[in-house]
Amino acid sequence: MRIIIGLIYFSLMMQTLTAQTPMSLDEAIQYGLENHNRLKLDNLAEKRAQWEITEFKAIGLPKVNASINYQYYFAPPVQPVEDFISPAVYGVLFQEGVVPVRDLGQPETFEFSLFQRNNLTGQVELSTLLFDGSYIYGL
């Protein structure tokens, strides 16, 4: 019984296998041209050369870069500064006789900061290649 099932299975498998498909001469030539390895490599080399040319041309095109930066300072940096303006102003006013003489005592200090709590900066940059001999020669 095993032999009969094996023969039936083998005969069914042999009917589905085909070694060759019939082709005309023109179809065979076309198939050979499409599937030849050297022609495929040449087509890939041609596409790569076209992409390299496009890439080289892109070097000279204008480029635009833009950026936005936002900073938030939880505690802005401060610098303690002595009050040097009030004694100088008072001294000038005293010399001119505008105010009476008064003892100012020790100069006061205050906290001075050049930083804002919120900073938002933006930048737009345009660059292009104007005169480059190697680029012009390459084109």
Listed by start position, the domains of the chain span: 79-111
Distance, in Å, from the CA atom of 108 to the CA atom of 88, rounded to the nearest integer, reads 13
Rounded to two decimals, the pTM is: 0.41
The predicted structure's pLDDT at residue 28: 86
3-class secondary structure for the chain?
CHHHHHHHHHHHHHHHCCCCCCCCHHHHHHHHHHHCHHHHHHHHHHHHHHHHHHHHHHHCCCEEEEEEEEEECCCCCCEEEECCHHHHHHHHHHHCCCCCCCCCCCCCEEEECCCCCEEEEEEEEEECCCCCHHHHHHC
Given a cut of 80, whether residue 7 has pLDDT beyond it is no
pLDDT band at 15 (very low <50, low <70, confident <90, very high): low
Task: Evaluate if residue 17 carries a pLDDT over 60.
Answer: no
Look at residue 68 in the predicted model and tell me its pLDDT: 97
User: Could you read off the pLDDT of 62-109 as tens digits, one per residue?
Assistant: 999 999 999 998 988 888 888 777 777 777 887 887 777 776 667 788
